[in-house]
Amino acid sequence: MNFIRNVALLLLVQSNLALAQQDVVFILTSDRPDSISLEFNRNPVFNEGTLGDGYRKVSLLGKPVEIRYTKISELARLSLLSYGWPGVYIGADWIVEPGDSININIEFESKPQPTMKFHGNRSAKYQIAFSIREQVEGIKDTEYEVYDGIKTASQAYQDVERLEQFCNTALANSQKKLSESVYKTWKTDIKAFADFTRLRIQSYQWTKDSTLRPSIDKNLSVSQSKIDLKIWLNSRALVRYRFELVKWKAIREVDSNYKNHEMFSTKKISLKELFSEIKKEPLQDQQFLMVFSLINPLVLRMNFGDILPEVLNSCLATAARVVKMTELKKILVTVDKRIRPGVPVKNLITTTFQGDTLQLTDLRGKKVILDRWIGNCTGCIDFKTELIQKGLPEIKNRNDIVIWSVGSVDSYDHWKRLLPTNSHPDFTSTWLDRKGAGGDWEWEYNASYAPFIMLIDESGKLISSTVSEIDMILTLLKIH
């Protein structure tokens, strides 16, 4: 009997697992030829790649196009973009469930404005998302109307509340058509969008009117409501709001006269100071905020500037002690392997101008300044210019140092055409094939921005991927 019962339990577990992991299918059509980009994200909070982990670009030329994402087990997110659509974004961060199968018809020629129609399993969810998209974007845009003097702060608060209520009413009226997890996550998203906008408007008022600071300070100190674990894992809007809130608290401690426009790129506080502020939050919040603050190299760079290896090691050690949740520990381990100084760097395979292969392993015995660029972007060119002017005079006669300039562009021929503005006789210049092994390398290091700078020692171990100032690079390479 025990044997039969155990077999039955095993079959039940396998059946539930099979149900949990299901494919998601989108079939796209349009009333005119167009190019559509799909950003699909299986992990909407902690996968910080700018294009998600299932990016597709498809051409709609009259025939239906099927896009399939396999083995989806949790809530995911979908964004649709087209330069033929007003404002480019057709839909942003729509909630996707395992098993969704949706026919999406895009009607660009519809008057007075383009529209979409949805059919299939759970299509009502997508129709609701499309119907309230303007109100959701309106919540996000309200802060900029305050900065531009279009609205007073008081008007903006009223508008945010009105738009938030509109979205919540639409959700409530459709609640029976939505699963419980989708409904709760969606409500959390909307509140987080509104809270974030209110936070940004308050930070603007803090800058403009010092008499309001006591009341704003009181608002900042209000305890945040406890959030269900699943919601934390599914709502990036929530985690982003909490992150900005705790970051503002840390900034306020350092400089009460900071400017509102600097909030996203302050460089006024260190990552270590942010972690000190995070440790004042409830334990569950601490774990999410620590992992979120470390996950994206672009966020690190924008908010904290250059992060020295010893500071990064200290924060990683703090996170390792604090983070106990199984899901977050797995993510933290992945992040740790990606950014901790001293870890071996994954081999990078590239192609030279002559068509030969050059790998990171070929450069063993030398220190490497790896500059991965994506074209004639301002940041890419500025970094090379400063490297040539300030770095090369110090490095030129050092045979133990290589400046490896790696172009990550669509094709080998495109890379060659970009070389006149992205190379130098003292650089080792190669092409990274995104569609080949190079794409795996970029994914490994979440290289979602450019220039992406990495310093590597003689044995192929990471010195730093969070430093880009030339003086600091020279210091870490022990040239100064």
Segment 207-238, tens digit of pLDDT: 888 899 899 888 888 878 888 888 888 999 99
Average pLDDT, integer, range 426-450: 88
**Per DSSP, what are the bridge partners of residue 40?**
78
Closest CA to 103 of 92, 115, 116, 118: 118
Average pLDDT, integer, range 410-434: 95
Given a cut of 80, is residue 480 above it in pLDDT?
Answer: no
- Average pLDDT over the chain reads 89
- Residue 341 has a pLDDT of 96
Q: What is the dihedral of CA 420, 421, 426, 428, to 10 degrees?
A: -80
Which of the four pLDDT bands, split at 50, 70 and 90, describes residue 449? confident
Which of the four pLDDT bands, split at 50, 70 and 90, describes residue 82? very high
Which of the four pLDDT bands, split at 50, 70 and 90, describes residue 4? very low
- Residue 407 has a pLDDT of 96
Average pLDDT, integer, range 369-395: 94
CB-side neighbour CA atoms (13 Å) of 317: 8
Residue with tokens 């309001």: 212
- Cβ neighbors of 118 (< 8 A, separation 6 or more) are 102, 103, 104, 105, 124, 126, 127, 130
If one compares 96 and 267, the residue with the highest pLDDT of the two is: 96
Query: Domains of the chain (ranges plus CATH)?
Result: 22-131 (2.60.40), 349-476 (3.40.30.10)
Closest CA to 97 of 38, 40, 28: 40
* CA dist., res. 274 & res. 282, Å (int): 15
- Residue 130 has a pLDDT of 96
- Residue 263 has a pLDDT of 56
Is-contact 408 374, C-beta < 8 A?
Answer: yes
From the CB of residue 283, how many other CB atoms can be counted at a distance below 10 Å? 11
Given a cut of 50, is residue 15 above it in pLDDT?
Answer: no
Out of 100-109, 167-176, 223-232, 418-427, which region has the weakest mean confidence (pLDDT)?
Answer: 223-232
397-406 confidence digits (pLDDT tens):
889 999 999 9
Given a cut of 50, is residue 177 above it in pLDDT?
Answer: yes
Out of 42-56, 69-83, 433-447, which region has the weakest mean confidence (pLDDT)?
Answer: 42-56
Given a cut of 50, is residue 13 above it in pLDDT?
Answer: no
Residue 258 is classified by DSSP as: -
What are the structure tokens assigned to 63, written together?
């025939």
Which of the four pLDDT bands, split at 50, 70 and 90, describes residue 371? very high
Given a cut of 70, is residue 265 above it in pLDDT?
Answer: no
The model's pTM is 0.86
Given a cut of 70, is residue 353 above it in pLDDT?
Answer: yes
Given a cut of 90, is residue 188 above it in pLDDT?
Answer: yes
89-119 confidence digits (pLDDT tens):
899 999 999 999 999 999 999 999 999 999 9
- Residue 254 has a pLDDT of 81
Given a cut of 60, is residue 381 above it in pLDDT?
Answer: yes
94 phi and psi, to 5 degrees? Answer: -70, 140
* CA dist., res. 43 & res. 60, Å (int): 27
- Residue 7 has a pLDDT of 38
Q: Which long-range contacts (CB under 8 A, 24 or more apart) does 83-92 make?
A: 83/35, 84/32, 84/34, 84/35, 84/108, 85/114, 86/113, 86/114, 89/137, 90/36, 90/116, 91/116, 91/126, 91/129, 91/130, 91/133, 92/133, 92/136, 92/137
